[in-house]
Structure 1
Amino acid sequence: MAFRKFLPLFDRVLVERFTAETVTKGGIMLPEKSQGKVLQATVVAVGPGSVNQKGHVLPVSVKVGEKVLLPEYGGTKVVLDDKDYFLFRDGDILGKYVE
């Protein structure tokens, strides 16, 4: 629970990427080079939101625990207790999965 020690500011969202598939459904081990970049993640912390020109806080559009789709590039890597997390702006997140 290292991310509980880290609070994103403004409209930033801290996510934990899903792990890449290392074995196919047929049981074949995949080398690192052929593993695709994982674009899905779970939101682990969110900032309070951004402030508009009138001084009102615009809340972040995702909540902790939601599954989101990330852009292929971007984000800032954050290491907390030897685990990798990524920090994105709320507007950079492409969408969220609805169950």
Structure 2
Amino acid sequence: MAFKPLHDRVLVERVESEAKTAGGLIIPDSAKEKPAEGKVIAVGEGAKDDAGNRVAMDVKEGDRILFGKWSGTEITLDGKELLIMKESDIMGVIA
């Protein structure tokens, strides 16, 4: 199913965190937090300003991003768990 976010919204797939610590300890699933890092799958065309002009998005498809712990709305598309969030919920792009 094709999905295109509207306005300044972004479709994100979470990136799984490591199952081991730096010291080699294995972290059980019950102790893991949901990662706040993801990959941008799709972006909207951008919000409109007061004059009706489109404001370009700062992120693009394929960017790895960091976002807030409680950001976005969880959805399931084609069996994948994804997030839809506003661009303002994104804290930064990982270079």
TM-score (norm 2): 0.89
CA apart distance, 1:61: 1.0
Given candidates 67, 81, 88, the residue that maps to 1:70 is 67
Identical amino acids, percent of aligned pairs: 36
Structure 2: where are the runs of 5+ without partners? none
How many residue pairs were aligned?
95
RMSD: 1.6
Matched with 1:48 is 45
Deviations 1:43-91 (A, max 9, x none): 0100000011000000111000010001011201121111101011011
2:36 partner amino acid = L
The answer for the alignment partner of 1:10 in structure 2 is 7
> Could you list the runs of 5+ residues in structure 1 that have no partner in the other structure?
none
Q: Which amino acid aligns with 2:74?
A: K
Q: Is the 8 A contact 1:9 1:47 kept in 2?
A: yes
* Partner residue in 2 for 1:87: 84
Match of 2:28 in 1: 31
Structure 1 Cα separation of the partners of residues 40 and 90 of structure 2: 11
Task: Please give the TM-score of this superposition, normalised by the length of structure 1.
Answer: 0.86
SS in 1 for 2:30: helix
Q: Which runs of 4+ in 1 moved over 6 A?
A: none
On the 8 A contact 1:21/1:35 being kept in 2, the answer is no
